């Protein structure tokens, strides 16, 4: 968002009653004196109106103008109606003409992530925001706050506040893209990435397999086409009837009755040209005889002996006839390389007469679990252990993507054995996936082994669940070290592994389906990270798509993934989604 804003932005956050507007009113002259050109953004209550009843602009708006721009010698104003929902913060920012401004100041918008000064007065009796909001970069107050390293100013010292704003504007002039990007990130840790950064990095580092195979159509479900498919025939091959009925000549429509000369079933043909005054009884899909370019449906016909009469109000020349090549002309491109084959594609390919298709070879994926406490299912539980679930979840996800799975079981906690096993896996498979032991500060053996193998980065992704992620290459084969927590494993797989595997399988530019739904409960998140809650979406009685969470969101509660039919994605700039607000959901059907 603020990534694309070429000038600095600074907010003033406070509870109502603190006197934000009064302070800003007194502050602005000092800022303009210092040479700053100021843009202001303020959030108002929903029935606010800038217009006055009875004014021309008001009347034109009420008459139906959804955007009303009114201009005079000294100013212009654009009023835009947004009856559906309030405009997004990023969009509002994009409305400013930043060429003519040095800084945008924001009053309000407490729960959106961007740098702010917190204003605080003791007499208002409200709690501090800064301990829970790392977007607060300074505080202006009428008391002294001992437990913070944030710059402090007196709320009554306008000169000091003005100096802070001017210094801030100068220091952050023309911020580079990279610098603002890290507004979401822990700048102390270069390994901190946003979800998108992680995805892009991984996608740039994996390649599509090169080998292709010929595959019988009946075995092609889930495979990815390695070449384009062109139609070698006209579909339909011949002009035919779209109805059960009677075929007649289009230049012979006005007769009282027609002589029925034959009955044509699908798979057969009437070998003569149709003459005027004649009709053939014809079935759906049967070829229309020469000149018989029009079909009247059976329900509109009465047969008396050898003759037929029609009781339809009007017959249009060419009706109820499918032309040869109408669906697909010979030579037309039907599918492109990179298309994943599902049921409809199997049928389409067969309908063109192909018994086989060219596909990319299957991916081989090696899977491990790690951790001293992890025990394989199928035997009595030992003390201090948990049964391995991650390996099985991952196997299910891989199955869904049509991968061949090589199960390496649970890795023994021994560095040399781990290095050996990881190298062996990379030799046999195209991709290696482990879970557990990749948290920063974790002393698991897997991490020591990966460190030795080199080429592995340990990232912290600004997301929950699924913060730790290791990615790199072992003997040129992509390696994913997923977190240990069972929900985090699935959420990380969905966000990082699946797009990469799809690319390796040959699929082009795959992106997951995302839609908006209305929150039917308040959803909490934390600014600065992407929150993936497990959600259940459904249509409510009025047909509105709504979503709620599955309940407790602990990243060890695998049951929540089983109950969910979607992930609710709350972007880093938002910390609370309130009941009735729109939120992005990622449906999971067909993916897990």
91-99, 368-376, 384-392, 566-574 -> range binding Mg ion (CB under 5 A)? 368-376
User: In whole angstroms, how close is the CB of 556 to ligand AMP at the nearest point?
Assistant: 6
User: In whole angstroms, how close is the CB of 436 to Mg ion at the nearest point?
Assistant: 5
Closest CA to 31 of 173, 138, 161: 161
User: In whole angstroms, how close is the CB of 534 to ligand AMP at the nearest point?
Assistant: 17
For Mg ion, the binding residues in 443-462 under the rule CB under 5 A are 444
Reported residue count of the chain is 592
User: In whole angstroms, how close is the CB of 229 to ligand AMP at the nearest point?
Assistant: 41
Instruction: Work out what residue 439 binds among ligand AMP, Mg ion, none; the CB cut-off runs from 5 to 8 Å by kind.
Output: ligand AMP
**481 vs 572, which CB is nearer to Mg ion?**
481
Q: Does 437 bind Mg ion (CB under 5 A)?
A: yes
Q: What is the DSSP letter of 225?
A: B
Q: Does 371 bind ligand AMP (CB under 6 A)?
A: yes
Contact (CB, 8 A) for 504 and 209: yes
Q: Does 8 bind ligand AMP (CB under 6 A)?
A: no
Instruction: Work out what residue 388 binds among Mg ion, ligand AMP, none; the CB cut-off runs from 5 to 8 Å by kind.
Output: ligand AMP
Closest CA to 247 of 287, 213, 207: 287
**11 vs 483, which CB is nearer to ligand AMP?**
483
Q: How many residues bind ligand AMP (CB under 6 A)?
A: 19
Q: Does 528 bind Mg ion (CB under 5 A)?
A: no
Which of 389, 475, 565, 582 lies at the binding interface for ligand AMP (CB under 6 A)? 389
Q: Report how far residue 416's alpha carbon sits from residue 418's, in angstroms, rounded to the nearest whole number.
A: 5
Instruction: Work out what residue 88 binds among Mg ion, ligand AMP, none; the CB cut-off runs from 5 to 8 Å by kind.
Output: none
**175 vs 466, which CB is nearer to ligand AMP?**
466
User: In whole angstroms, how close is the CB of 94 to ligand AMP at the nearest point?
Assistant: 40
Q: How many residues bind Mg ion (CB under 5 A)?
A: 4
For ligand AMP, the binding residues in 479-498 under the rule CB under 6 A are 483-486
Beta strand pairing status for 530-539 and 463-464? parallel
Distances 103 to 116, 176, 340, 577 between C-alpha atoms, Å: 13, 15, 48, 28
DSSP 408-431: EEEPPS-HHHHHHHHHHHHHH-SE
**212 vs 389, which CB is nearer to ligand AMP?**
389
Closest CA to 573 of 98, 2, 172, 45: 2
DSSP 491-560: HHIIIIIHHHHHHHHT--S-----EEEEESS-EE--TTSEEEEEEEEEE-TTS-EEEEE-S---TT-THH
User: In whole angstroms, how close is the CB of 371 to Mg ion at the nearest point?
Assistant: 4
**389 vs 475, which CB is nearer to ligand AMP?**
389
Contact (CB, 8 A) for 365 and 209: no
User: In whole angstroms, how close is the CB of 369 to Mg ion at the nearest point?
Assistant: 10
Q: Does 369 bind ligand AMP (CB under 6 A)?
A: yes
The CA dihedral of 406, 411, 415, 419, to the nearest 10 degrees, is 0
**371 vs 486, which CB is nearer to Mg ion?**
371
**441 vs 543, which CB is nearer to Mg ion?**
441
Instruction: Work out what residue 485 binds among ligand AMP, Mg ion, none; the CB cut-off runs from 5 to 8 Å by kind.
Output: ligand AMP
Q: Does 386 bind ligand AMP (CB under 6 A)?
A: yes
Which of 439, 462, 550, 560 lies at the binding interface for ligand AMP (CB under 6 A)? 439
In the bound complex, which residue of the shown chain has the CB atom lying closest to ligand AMP? 484
Beta strand pairing status for 374-375 and 386-387? parallel
Given the structure tokens 């700053």, which residue do they identify?
Answer: 36
Which of 33, 81, 373, 538 lies at the binding interface for ligand AMP (CB under 6 A)? 373
Site string for ligand AMP, 390-419 (x = CB under 6 A): xx----------------------------
**224: Cβ contacts below 8 Å, ≥ 6 apart:** 338, 339, 340, 341, 359, 360, 505, 506, 507
Which of 51, 142, 442, 581 lies at the binding interface for ligand AMP (CB under 6 A)? 442
User: In whole angstroms, how close is the CB of 469 to ligand AMP at the nearest point?
Assistant: 11
58-66, 267-275, 291-299, 371-379 -> range binding ligand AMP (CB under 6 A)? 371-379
Looking at the DSSP bridge assignments, the partners of residue 532 are 569
Q: Report how far residue 414's alpha carbon sits from residue 131's, in angstroms, rounded to the nearest whole number.
A: 42
Q: Report how far residue 185's alpha carbon sits from residue 170's, in angstroms, rounded to the nearest whole number.
A: 22
Instruction: Work out what residue 533 binds among ligand AMP, Mg ion, none; the CB cut-off runs from 5 to 8 Å by kind.
Output: none
Beta strand pairing status for 152-154 and 515-519? unpaired
Distances 300 to 231, 245, 310, 311, 540 between C-alpha atoms, Å: 36, 8, 6, 5, 43
Q: Report how far residue 424's alpha carbon sits from residue 119's, in angstroms, rounded to the nearest whole number.
A: 60
Q: Report how far residue 104's alpha carbon sits from residue 172's, in angstroms, rounded to the nearest whole number.
A: 12
Q: Does 486 bind Mg ion (CB under 5 A)?
A: no
Q: Does 198 bind ligand AMP (CB under 6 A)?
A: no
**Cα-Cα end-to-end distance for the chain:** 31
Q: Is 592 exposed, middle or buried (0-12, 13-18, 19+ CB in 10 A)?
A: middle
**295 vs 497, which CB is nearer to ligand AMP?**
497
Beta strand pairing status for 136-141 and 545-549? unpaired
Rounded to the nearest angstrom, the gap between the alpha carbon of residue 256 and the centroid of all alpha carbons in its chain is 61
Instruction: Work out what residue 407 binds among Mg ion, ligand AMP, none; the CB cut-off runs from 5 to 8 Å by kind.
Output: none
Give the footprint of ligand AMP on this chain (CB under 6 A).
Answer: 369, 371, 373-374, 386, 388-391, 435-437, 439, 442, 444, 483-486
The residues that touch Mg ion, with contacts defined as CB under 5 A, are 371, 436-437, 444
């Amino acid at each position: 968002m603020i990534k694309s804003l070429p000038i600095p932005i600074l907010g003033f956050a406070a509870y109502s009653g603190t006197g934000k507007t009064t302070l800003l009113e007194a502050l602005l002259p000092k800022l303009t004196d210092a040479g700053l050109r100021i843009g202001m953004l303020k959030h108002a209550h929903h029935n606010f109106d800038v217009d006055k009843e009875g004014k021309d602009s008001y009347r034109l708006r009420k008459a139906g103008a959804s955007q009303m721009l009114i201009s005079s010698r000294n100013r212009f104003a654009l009023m835009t109606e947004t009856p559906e929902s309030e405009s997004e913060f990023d969009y509002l920012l994009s409305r400013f003409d930043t060429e003519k401004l040095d800084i945008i100041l924001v009053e309000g918008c407490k729960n959106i992530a961007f740098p702010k000064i917190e204003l605080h007065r003791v007499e208002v009796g409200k709690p501090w925001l800064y301990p829970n909001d790392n977007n607060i970069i300074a505080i202006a107050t009428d008391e002294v706050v001992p437990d913070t390293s944030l710059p402090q100013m007196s709320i009554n010292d306008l000169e000091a506040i003005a100096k802070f704003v001017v210094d801030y504007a100068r220091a952050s002039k023309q911020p580079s893209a990279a610098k603002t990007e890290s507004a979401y990130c822990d700048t102390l840790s270069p390994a901190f990435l946003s979800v998108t950064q992680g995805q892009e990095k991984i996608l740039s580092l994996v390649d599509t397999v090169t080998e292709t195979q010929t595959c019988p159509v009946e075995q092609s479900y889930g495979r990815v086409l390695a070449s384009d498919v062109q139609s070698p025939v006209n579909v339909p091959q011949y002009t035919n009837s779209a109805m059960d009925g009677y075929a007649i000549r289009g230049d012979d429509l006005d007769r009282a009755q027609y002589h029925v000369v034959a009955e044509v079933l699908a798979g057969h043909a009437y070998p003569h040209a149709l003459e005027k005054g004649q009709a053939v009884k014809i079935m759906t899909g049967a070829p229309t005889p020469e000149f018989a370019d029009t079909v009247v449906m059976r329900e509109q016909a009465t047969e008396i002996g050898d003759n037929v009469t029609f009781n339809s109000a009007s017959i249009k020349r060419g009706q109820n006839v499918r032309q040869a090549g109408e669906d697909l002309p010979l030579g037309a491109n039907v599918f492109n390389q990179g298309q994943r084959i599902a049921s409809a594609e199997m049928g389409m390919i067969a309908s063109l007469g192909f018994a086989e298709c060219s596909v990319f070879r299957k991916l081989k994926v090696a899977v491990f679990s790690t951790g001293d406490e992890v025990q394989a299912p199928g035997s009595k539980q030992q003390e201090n252990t948990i049964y391995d679930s991650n390996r099985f979840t991952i196997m299910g996800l891989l199955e869904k993507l049509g991968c061949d799975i090589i199960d390496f079981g649970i890795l023994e906690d021994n560095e040399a054995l781990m290095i050996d096993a990881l190298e062996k896996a990379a030799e046999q498979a195209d991709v290696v996936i482990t879970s557990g032991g990749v948290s920063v500060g974790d002393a698991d053996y897997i991490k020591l082994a990966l460190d030795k193998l080199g080429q592995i980065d340990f990232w912290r992704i600004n997301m929950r669940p699924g913060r730790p992620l290791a990615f790199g290459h072992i003997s040129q084969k992509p390696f994913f070290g997923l977190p240990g927590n069972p929900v985090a494993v699935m959420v990380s797989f969905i966000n990082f592994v699946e797009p990469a595997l799809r690319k390796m399988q040959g699929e082009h530019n795959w992106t997951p389906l995302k839609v908006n739904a209305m929150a039917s409960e308040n959803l909490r998140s934390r600014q600065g990270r992407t929150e993936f809650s497990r959600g259940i979406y459904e249509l409510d009685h009025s047909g509105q798509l709504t979503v709620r969470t599955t309940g407790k969101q602990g990243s060890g509660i695998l049951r929540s993934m089983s109950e969910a039919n979607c992930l609710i994605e709350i972007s880093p700039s938002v910390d609370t989604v309130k009941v009735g607000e729109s939120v992005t959901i990622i449906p999971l059907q067909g993916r897990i």
